[in-house]
Structure formats: C-alpha cells, structure tokens
Amino acid sequence: MHPAFQAILTIIIGVGGCVGYFYFSNQFLDKVVFPPKGVHAGRNITRANMIRPWLFLFPALTALGLYLAYPVFETLRLSLSERVPGGGSQFVGLANYEQMFSESKFWEAMRNNLLWLIVVPALSTVFGLIAAQLSDRVRWGNIAKSLIFMPMAISFVGAAVIFKLVYDTRPVDQDQIGVLNALYLFFGGNQPVTWLTQVPWNSFLLMIVLVWIQTGFAMVILSAALRGIPEETIEAAIVDGANPFQVFFKIKVPQIMSTIVVVWTTITIVVLKVFDIVFAMTNGQWETQVLANYMYDKLFRASDWGVGSASAMIIMLLVSPILVWNVYNARKEMQ
Amino acid sequence: MSGIAGTKSSLTWAVHLSLVAMVLLWLFPTVGLFVSSFRTTDQISTGGWWKAMSSSEQSTTLRTSSPETQIGKDGVFLIEGNLFDEGSEAEISVWGTSSRSIDDYKAGDTAELKNGATITVAANGDYIMQSTETLTGKRGQRVFVTALTPPEFTLDNYKNVLFDENNREGMAKAFFNTLTVTIPATIIPILVAAFAAYALAWMDFPGRALLIAAVVGLLVVPLQLALIPLLKLHNEIGIGKGYLGAWLAHTGFGLPLAIYLLRNYMVGLPRDIIENAKVDGATDFQIFIKIILPLSFPALASFAIFQFLWTWNDLLVALVFLIDSSGETTVMTKQIVELLGTRGGNWEILATSAFVSIAVPLVVFFAMQKYLVRGLLAGSVK
C-alpha cells in the first residue's frame, strides 16, 4: 500500500476511532451501564459522572503511561542489567555505570554538556532580552522580532547545514566560501582554518547554532513580560531621575526575574536533549561529544543497551531538578 | 513608553542601529544558504555567496567550434563564433591557449597555435581562428579564459533535487515521506489531548490535581529515555520500524505539551457558558464538541503548529522508529545528514536540499506566527 494512502487511512482511523470511542463509550455509560431512569436514577447519574472523566482521560493516559512514564522505569531497569546472548537480560548492579565512568568519552561529553548548559541559556537569554528591549522601542519592532524569531522554525539539521557553510574551509590558494574564514583572512589571518576541528573553539561554534535558534524564543517570552510591567514603576523611576540604563537594569529586569528563570530553565532542557546539531556537524569528533549523542552512539552504533541506558539516566538525573521545580510551581499556582 | 522614558535622540539612533545589526546578524546565515541554492557549482566553489550580487572573475575552459564548421576562402580557412553561450554578458580580461599559462593574452590579442593557426579572442567572446591549411581534428580548440561574469542565478539545483527521476539523493521521495509522517502525527494527538484537557479543566474527580502535576512533570522527560524501551515494545507487538511506530511515538511525545496548553486555555473559558449548557441538559460530550472545541481554536492552532514544526524537523524519532534498513521510509532531515557526510563539498545539492526542507516550516511560521507566539506564552511553565 502506498504510504500516502496509509497516512490518509491512519488519519481516518485515528480521528474516527477517537471520536467514535468517546461517543460510544459515553453512550454506553449513559444508556447501558448506568441509565438515568428506574429506581436508581439518581444514584446512576452520580455514578456515571464519577466514571466519565476517566473515559475522557483513558486514551491520553494510556499513551502518556506507555510512551513516557513506562520508559523511565524500563530504562532504569535496563541500565542495571545487561543483555545475555540468546535473548533476555540479567541484573548486573552498577556495572554499566562503572564502565561508563571509566570511559574518557563520557567525561568529555559531561564536560561539554556543562559548558553548553552555561553558555547557551546565558547567551540566548541575554540576546533575547536585548532584542526584546530594543524592538519594543522602534516602530518596525514587529518585523525585527519576526526575523530574529525565524530560526525557531528551522530544524536543527537545517541549521547545521546553514552554519556548516558559514564555517566552511577551502584550500589556501582558493577563494573562501565560508564567511568565518573570509573574515578571518580579511582581518589578517595567515591561512584558512578548519574551524570545526579546532579544540576547544569547535564546541563553542556548535553552541552558537543553538543560541541562534533559541534567542527568538527568549525574545518572544521576555518581550511579553516587559510589556506586562506596570508603567507607574517606570514613570516613578524617571521622575526620580533614573537614566534609561538604570530604568532597564534596576526597574525592569528585577520585575521580570521570574520570567527570565522560566526562559533559562526551558532552554536548559533543550540543551540537555541537544542531539541533532552535534550529530550532523561533527558527530562528536574532535572532542565535541555531548551526552545525547554519546547515548545514541552507545545504543545504535555500539549496540550497548546497558551503558546507553545508563547515560540516558544521567540525562534524566540532570533534568529532574527542573522537573521537580516545575511541578512544585504548577501545584502552587493551582491552589 | 518611549515618550515617557524621555528618550534622547542619540539613544534612539543607537537603538535603531543595534537592532538593525542584530537582525542582519541573525538573517545572514540563512540568506547565505538561500542565495547559494540558486548558484551553479562553479559559482559556489569559486567565490563566497556574498559576492553573488556583483560581477565576479571566473576562470573557465571553453572551446571553439569543431573544425567541421570551417569555411575555406582564398586559401584561408576560418572558424568564427562566440565562446560563450548565447545571452551571456561575460567580459574576458585575459586568456590563454594552454592550461599552464591561462593569462598569456589580453582581450583582442592574437595567439599563435602549435599547428600554425592563429586565434584572436575579443572581450565579448567573439573569436576568429584562421589558418592557411585545413584545420584538422574532431573537437574545437580549447581556450582558457578569465572573464568578469555578471551575477547569474539558476533554478537548475531545484530541478535536480526535486524532479530528476534518477537522482540518488531522493529528496522528492523524502519530502512526501516527511509529509506522511507529519500530518497524522499532528492531528491525532490534538484530539486525544483535547478530551483529556477538558476532563482536567472542567470535570471534578479525585486525583485531578495529581494528574495535572504528572503532566507538568512529563513535559520535561527527555525523549532519549524512551528510545530503547519503546523500540523493544514496537518489535514485540509487531509494529517494528515504520510509519505506524513513528506516528505513535510522535503522538505520545507530543501529548504532555498538548494537554498542558489546552487545559490552561480551557480553564480560562467562561464558566457561565458551560453551566448554562449543563442546566439546559447538554451532556459533557455535547458541551465538549459544540462549545469547548470551537472556543479553543486558538489553543488548538498553537499546538498544531508546535507539533507540525517538531515532527517535520525531527531527526531522532525518525532514525529510531521509522527508517528501516531498506531506507524506503527515509525523511528529509536524515537525507540531509547523509549528504553532509558523503557529499560535504557539494554545496549546490546540500543548500538546495536543506532549503527544500526548511521552506515548508518557514511558510507555516510566517503564516501562523500569531498562534505560535500565543502558544509559546501559554506553554512556558510560569
């Protein structure tokens, strides 16, 4: 069957199935299981209303449980066991973790990931804040925002190609087609540099790609926060003689601090999962390895599910403080 | 606000200039790829794309017409013509007749060839080759020219990448495969999530707060954790690698954000409408279909864009759950990564392929930016 037909069929089955499920399960509940008539009409309505939420939730909960919750525990189990030849697995305690900790590639990935965690959220937030503040003050601000925001729509792989062209290197006797080398030679460099092999600069060059993508996100959120600041506070500061920079740093920034934290943590999560950029641009060579790509290497190139799962658990461990913090805040907000 | 801030004019200029600089900096890399995708192989490899708008010096090898076209007159044999293709506006500065010395002669000079013939080449490419003997050989004389070529753009790269039946990159197929993955993976989670979000927003039941907290928690669970367990699961229940697996995976991974966004939006809908409907005897199912869904359109659109961009741009899920060893179900991101590895130097193919894959999300982005921004604002956990 042609995949296009398969896709259309899936949409029909998926959508039709969903609607059908919700409709008929509700009908079934109301007409057959707890019909609101007869001796127990009142009791039946109450009971039906107790069950109905779970009818609405059932497909979503199943999918969430199967595709997100179950894997967390299964990965934990896999990280503590190893595959035995002929199928099945056996418990090996922390052996996978020990093996992973003894690999220099893992520590290289950890070190790079920490650098990514510091550099990317910091630069994206700062640039985003600058862009938000500047574009709110000019008439063509919306166009500027659109253009800075645009990389959000571009895939990591597309961005990797875009920046590979920027970092491209040609032999010394030819014209450079990469902007970076052209600028380098223009400002007095001796010969073209193969940038992506230059440790430690290459890691930063990869980070720039993500900063380029994430700045737009930071800008959009921070711009909304800046507009939400009550004008009286700013007016009062100006009356008291504050200059524009003081207004920005002492009045505006403190008031949007909680939004800055949100932006920072959201980008942090993106950074922890970053895979495509490194995979496409250097594939972890020349000391640019990061955790997500290390994990992919272990799982699908070395076929080592134990160590691969162990490194996935490390990513989970790094994410969990943010997870707890988010859940805590969400609960506080609901009360 | 700028009025009250008492802006000084010098500061206004600084604001404009820094913003212009920032926008240009952010636009520059993309424009580079875009311009490159319209240049020929020669142009890309001989000069930076930023020179594409101006004329450039290029050295190429051209040929005169073959000796079959010679005209014999009064004992002199002539071949006349123009070295360039018709319509070319290139201007020759220097030229030569051997690959070792390509700049021996200026435009208008006459060169003597080994076989005793002479050739004169004018700046516009017109040449006259004459000899007292019959010119022999099957092919024309090679002429090495260095010419100032005006900017030139071509659609050939796109023709090659998209419409050439036997091109090995298979971008056209990958394009349709990507579409095949994306559309069901965008539509199905919306529906599943909408029902769940309604229950979490407007129905009272024990454990609701706990479920909402769980959804917030699942928002950040890295999808890396799901790869092996789910691949194992798919293999065990017989789905294996393929579209069905990819659709299911995208649905599962997209649900937390979908539920979170939609619930936050639905909670804000006016309580009166829903209670009035209940008093009038509408069931929850009717309320959901007839009132909640239409009113939630902005939130539905926000999530649809997110999910579309995410599934279209995805590489990891496709690598793990979709693409089997036959490679029939390959998607564009995977093709591009492959091109980066095997044909890293072929910028015309790379740039064009990348732009084909970027174009669709960009169109969606600019057309529906309003909803995307709204979704971002609602979706970042506050």
pLDDT tens across the length of chain A (335 residues): 566 677 788 778 877 887 788 888 878 877 777 777 777 777 777 777 778 888 888 888 888 888 888 888 888 888 888 777 766 777 777 778 888 888 888 888 888 888 898 899 999 999 999 998 888 888 888 888 888 888 988 888 889 888 888 888 877 777 777 888 888 888 877 777 788 787 788 888 889 999 999 998 889 888 888 888 888 888 888 888 888 888 888 888 888 888 888 888 888 888 888 888 888 888 777 878 888 888 888 888 777 888 888 888 888 888 888 888 888 888 887 77
* B347 and B254 belong to one structural domain: yes
Helix (H) or strand (E) holding A112: helix A104-135
φ/ψ region of B238 (left if φ > 0, alpha if ψ in -120 to 50, else beta) reads left
Portion 245-264 of B in contact with A at CB < 8 A:
247-249, 251-253, 255-256, 259
Distance (Å, rounded) from C-alpha B127 to C-alpha B119?
A: 7
Give chain B's domain count.
Answer: 3
Instruction: Work out the minimum CA distance from B295 to partner chain A, whole angstroms.
Output: 18
Distance (Å, rounded) from C-alpha B68 to C-alpha B118?
A: 17
Model pLDDT, residue A122: 92
* B131 and B245 belong to one structural domain: no
- With a pLDDT cut of 90, the percent of chain B lying above it is 1
Question: How do B105-106 and B126-131 pair as beta strands?
Answer: unpaired
Contacting residues of A for B30, CB less than 8 Å apart: 150-151, 154, 162
Cβ separation of B284 and A75 shorter than 8 Å? no
Token pair recorded at residue A135: 């574009």
Q: What is the mean predicted confidence (pLDDT) over B246-266?
A: 88
Distances (CA, A) of A77 to A293, B3, B61, B93: 21, 62, 65, 72
Q: Minimal CA–CA distance to B332: which of B308, B315, B348, B349?
A: B315
Last residue of a domain, one of B93, B125, B149: B149
> Does the structure show a pLDDT above 60 at B6?
no
A-chain residue closest to B305, CA distance = A153
Q: Minimal CA–CA distance to A69: which of B207, B219, B317?
A: B219
Distance (Å, rounded) from C-alpha B266 to C-alpha B276?
A: 16
The boundaries of the domain holding residue A11 are 3-79
Return the ∠ at Cα A37 (arms to A36 and A39), rounded to 5°: 120
Q: Minimal CA–CA distance to A130: which of B14, B379, B8, B377?
A: B14
Out of B30, B48, B316, closest to residue A177 by CB: B48
Distance (Å, rounded) from C-alpha B330 to C-alpha B178?
A: 8
Return phi, psi of residue A92, to 5°: -125, 15
- With a pLDDT cut of 70, the percent of chain B lying above it is 91
Predicted TM-score of the model (pTM): 0.82
| SS3 assignment, position B324 | coil
Distance (Å, rounded) from C-alpha A289 to C-alpha A260?
A: 28
* A221 and A253 belong to one structural domain: yes
φ/ψ region of B323 (left if φ > 0, alpha if ψ in -120 to 50, else beta) reads beta
Token pair recorded at residue A313: 């658990």
Query: What is the CA B159 to chain-centroid distance, rounded?
Result: 15
Distance (Å, rounded) from C-alpha A229 to C-alpha A216?
A: 20
Give chain A's domain count.
Answer: 2
* B219 and B288 belong to one structural domain: yes
Burial B290-329 (b: 16+ CB within 10 A, else e): ebbbebbeebbbbbbbbbbbbbbbbbbbbbbbbbeeeeeb
Cβ separation of A52 and B284 shorter than 8 Å? yes
Contacting residues of B for A233, CB less than 8 Å apart: none
In a domain, B179, yes or no: yes
- Band of residue B379 on the pLDDT scale cut at 50, 70, 90: low
Q: Minimal CA–CA distance to B78: which of B125, B114, B127?
A: B127
For testing contact with chain A, the best of B178, B198, B228 (most A CBs within 10 A): B228
Distance (Å, rounded) from C-alpha A155 to C-alpha A144?
A: 21
In a domain, A16, yes or no: yes
Return phi, psi of residue B51, to 5°: -95, 0
> Does the structure show a pLDDT above 70 at B266?
yes
* B233 and B304 belong to one structural domain: yes
| SS3 assignment, position A191 | coil
Q: Minimal CA–CA distance to B124: which of B83, B155, B156, B152?
A: B83
Model pLDDT, residue A123: 93
Burial of A1 (0-12, 13-18, 19+ CB in 10 A): exposed
* A132 and A199 belong to one structural domain: yes
Instruction: Work out the minimum CA distance from A86 to partner chain B, whole angstroms.
Output: 15
- Give yes or no for B368 touching A (CB within 8 A): no
Distance (Å, rounded) from C-alpha A210 to C-alpha A231?
A: 34
In a domain, A202, yes or no: yes
Token pair recorded at residue B147: 């010419």
Return the ∠ at Cα A167 (arms to A201 and B157), rounded to 5°: 155
* B182 and B252 belong to one structural domain: yes
Identity of the amino acid at B149: T
Burial of A166 (0-12, 13-18, 19+ CB in 10 A): buried
Task: Write out the E strands in chain A.
Answer: 81-83, 89-91
Model pLDDT, residue A124: 93
CB B265 within 8 A of CB B378: yes
Last residue of a domain, one of B96, B115, B149: B149
Cβ separation of A63 and B255 shorter than 8 Å? yes
Q: What is the pLDDT of residues B298-345, one digit of tens each?
A: 888 888 888 998 899 888 888 888 887 777 778 888 888 888 877 656
DSSP 8-state class, residue B79 = E
Question: Which residues, 6 or more positions from A331, have their beta carbon under 8 angstroms from its beta carbon?
Answer: B209, B213
DSSP 8-state class, residue A300 = I
- Give yes or no for B199 touching A (CB within 8 A): yes
* B299 and B273 belong to one structural domain: yes
Distance (Å, rounded) from C-alpha B131 to C-alpha B110?
A: 13
Q: What is chain B's percent helix, strand, coil content, to nearest 5?
A: 55, 15, 30
Q: Minimal CA–CA distance to B228: which of A314, A76, A106, A284?
A: A76
Burial B220-236 (b: 16+ CB within 10 A, else e): bbbbbbbbbbbbebbee
Model pLDDT, residue A125: 92
Model pLDDT, residue A126: 92
In a domain, A92, yes or no: no
* B81 and B205 belong to one structural domain: no
Distances (CA, A) of B181 to B174, B177, B331, B337: 10, 6, 9, 18
Out of A6, A146, A316, closest to residue B369 by CB: A146
In a domain, A121, yes or no: yes
Identity of the amino acid at B226: A
* B134 and B202 belong to one structural domain: no
DSSP string across A121-158: HHHHHHHHHHHHHHHTTSTTHHHHHHHHHGGGGS-HHH
Instruction: Work out the minimum CA distance from A106 to partner chain B, whole angstroms.
Output: 16
Higher pLDDT, A21 or B1: A21
* A74 and A188 belong to one structural domain: no
* A28 and A124 belong to one structural domain: no
- Band of residue B167 on the pLDDT scale cut at 50, 70, 90: low
* A70 and A158 belong to one structural domain: no
Cβ separation of A334 and B227 shorter than 8 Å? no
Portion 291-320 of B in contact with A at CB < 8 A:
309, 312-316, 319-320
For testing contact with chain B, the best of A23, A29, A155 (most B CBs within 10 A): A155
Model pLDDT, residue A215: 92
Model pLDDT, residue A212: 92
* B267 and B353 belong to one structural domain: yes
Residue B92's DSSP bridge partners are B147
DSSP string across B28-51: HHHHHHHHHTTS-HHHHHHS-GGG
Q: What is chain A's percent helix, strand, coil content, to nearest 5?
A: 75, 0, 20
**CA dihedral sign of residues B154, B159, B162, B167:** negative
In a domain, B3, yes or no: no
Could you report how far apart the first and last alpha carbons of chain B are, in Å? 25
Burial of A115 (0-12, 13-18, 19+ CB in 10 A): middle
In a domain, B314, yes or no: yes
Instruction: Work out the minimum CA distance from B246 to partner chain A, whole angstroms.
Output: 11
* A153 and A259 belong to one structural domain: yes
Last residue of a domain, one of A44, A79, A114: A79
Burial of B249 (0-12, 13-18, 19+ CB in 10 A): buried
What's the complex ipTM?
0.84
* B127 and B102 belong to one structural domain: yes
Distance (Å, rounded) from C-alpha B128 to C-alpha B117?
A: 10
Cβ separation of A26 and B347 shorter than 8 Å? no
For testing contact with chain A, the best of B46, B215, B220 (most A CBs within 10 A): B220
Q: What is the CATH number of the domain that holds A257?
A: 1.10.3720.10
Last residue of a domain, one of A79, A108, A135: A79
Q: What is the pLDDT of residues B71-114, one digit of tens each?
A: 777 778 888 888 777 666 777 778 887 777 777 787 777 877 77
In a domain, A87, yes or no: no
Least confident of A273-287, B1-15, B68-82, B245-259: B1-15
Q: What is the pLDDT of residues B188-231, one digit of tens each?
A: 888 889 888 988 888 888 888 888 888 888 888 888 888 888 88
In a domain, B107, yes or no: yes
Contacting residues of B for A136, CB less than 8 Å apart: 1
- Give yes or no for B172 touching A (CB within 8 A): no
- Give yes or no for B237 touching A (CB within 8 A): no
Model pLDDT, residue B2: 45
Identity of the amino acid at A121: P
Model pLDDT, residue A109: 87
> Does the structure show a pLDDT above 70 at B347?
yes
Last residue of a domain, one of B149, B169, B200: B149
Question: Which residues, 6 or more positions from A185, have their beta carbon under 8 angstroms from its beta carbon?
Answer: A176, A191, A192
Distance (Å, rounded) from C-alpha B129 to C-alpha A27?
A: 92
* A190 and A161 belong to one structural domain: yes
* B209 and B323 belong to one structural domain: yes
Cβ separation of B19 and A131 shorter than 8 Å? yes
Instruction: Work out the minimum CA distance from B304 to partner chain A, whole angstroms.
Output: 13
Higher pLDDT, B187 or B53: B187
* A30 and A169 belong to one structural domain: no
- Give yes or no for B216 touching A (CB within 8 A): yes
**CA dihedral sign of residues B154, B156, B157, B162:** positive
* B132 and B249 belong to one structural domain: no
Contacting residues of A for B336, CB less than 8 Å apart: 157-158, 161, 280
Model pLDDT, residue B382: 44
DSSP 8-state class, residue B140 = P
